[in-house]
Amino acid sequence: MSRVRKAVIPAAGLGTRFLPASKAVPKEMLPIVDKPVIQYIVEQAVAAGIEEVVIVTASAKRAIEDHFDRFFELEYRLEASGKHDLLEEARRPAEMARFVMVRQGSPLGNGHAVLLAKEVVGDEPFAMLWGDDVVLGSPPFVAQMIAAHERTGGSVVGVMAVPPQEAVKYGVVEVAERLDDRLVRCSRIVEKPPLDQAPSNLAAVAGYVLTPDIFEYLEQTAVGQSGEIWLADGVQQIAARGNLYALEFTGRRYDAGNKLEYLQATVDLALDRPDLGPAFRAFLEEKLRTPVRP
């Protein structure tokens, strides 16, 4: 079995949930404290052993490409002024892994975006990570997914238990066989099911580890009514062959495309910082003691 060495991050979407900020700034580049959302995702992947990251971008997402590249003028000025800590932070994004940027010229769906990475990924299993889902935990989310793939030999989707009324917002897996408390084999994924038709309470979030046959299935997938190719349709083909598993991972997941969860991530990560946490906590506590003015 090939080792999982590569990750694909589709990041070509318009990010309409964060308008007007995302009109000029890619949603994946919005900062949580002082790092963009997508950097947290890449860091977790690298911590799990990922060596090469394919980011599928669009013409309006040049800032993502620049972030994971070197900025020699900035580095020169930081070095000349003796700001070595900041110099290390500026260089780090480009040095975490090998990066390949692929442009999605037209908005043809997330399945099409993944298919564009085929030539880079080749005949290997790979991690597919959504560009606005941040999962923080130990071991890293991607490492948990890779371990499940190595155990089963199949494709693995990350899932979390959600209340029934929330299931309508997600793809929900149907359980065919339970392997242990957190790992199941799936018979299918139902996209945004009606409340009374959800096959379980396990919602697909954050990403997958996919076997390379996904590319063949995506190439065979018909374009939908919206003119797009959806990854879920290819994943259904894997499930139909009994080779899709779902892992209820451990860790805290933030949907950074959701304004409330974005704010929650910012607060949690700021409180966890030794340089910011104590003063920020004191500020929040004082804020909670102060009546809100009408």
pLDDT tens profile 89-114: 999 999 999 999 999 988 899 999 99
* Boundaries of every domain in the chain: 6-274
Residue 91 CA to residue 83 CA, distance in Å, equals 12
Residue 180 carries which DSSP code?
S
52-90 confidence digits (pLDDT tens): 999 999 988 999 999 999 999 999 999 999 999 999 999
Among 193-202, 223-232, 278-287, name the one with the lowest average pLDDT. Answer: 223-232
* Rounded distance between C-alpha atoms, residue 154 and residue 175, angstroms: 15
Q: Give how far the C-alpha of residue 4 lies from the chain's centroid of Cα atoms, to the nearest Å.
A: 16
Question: How many Å separate Cα 231 from the centre of its chain?
Answer: 14
What are the CA-CA distances from residue 112 to residues 12, 55, 117, 169, 287 (Å)?
A: 11, 13, 9, 22, 46
Q: pLDDT tens across 173-200, in order?
A: 999 999 999 999 999 998 888 888 889 9
The confidence score (pLDDT) of residue 64 equals 97
Confidence bin at 294 (pLDDT 50/70/90):
low
CB 2, CB 122: distance < 8 Å: no
SS3 194: coil
Q: What is the pLDDT of residue 223?
A: 79
DSSP string, 17-46: GGTTGGGTS-GGG-EETTEEHHHHHHHHHH
For residue 27, which of 40, 37, 41 has the smallest C-alpha distance?
Answer: 37
Confidence at 293, pLDDT banded by 50, 70, 90:
low
- Residue 124 is predicted with a pLDDT of 96
Strand partners, 22: none
Contacts by residues 192-200 (CB-CB < 8 Å, ≥ 24 positions apart): 192/168, 193/167, 193/168, 194/168, 195/164, 195/165, 195/167, 195/168, 198/164, 198/167, 198/168, 198/172, 199/172, 199/173, 199/174, 199/175, 200/172, 200/173, 200/174, 200/175
For CA atoms 120, 130, 169, 138, the dihedral sign is positive
Phi, psi dihedral angles at 165 (to 5 degrees) = -70, -15
pLDDT band, very low/low/confident/very high, at 29 (cuts 50, 70, 90): very high
The topology under which CATH files domain 6-274 is Spore Coat Polysaccharide Biosynthesis Protein SpsA; Chain A (3.90.550)
* Residue 115 pLDDT: 96
Looking at the predicted structure, is the pLDDT value of residue 244 above 70?
A: yes
pLDDT recorded at residue 142: 97
Are residues 247 and 157 in contact, defined by beta-carbon separation less than 8 angstroms?
Answer: yes
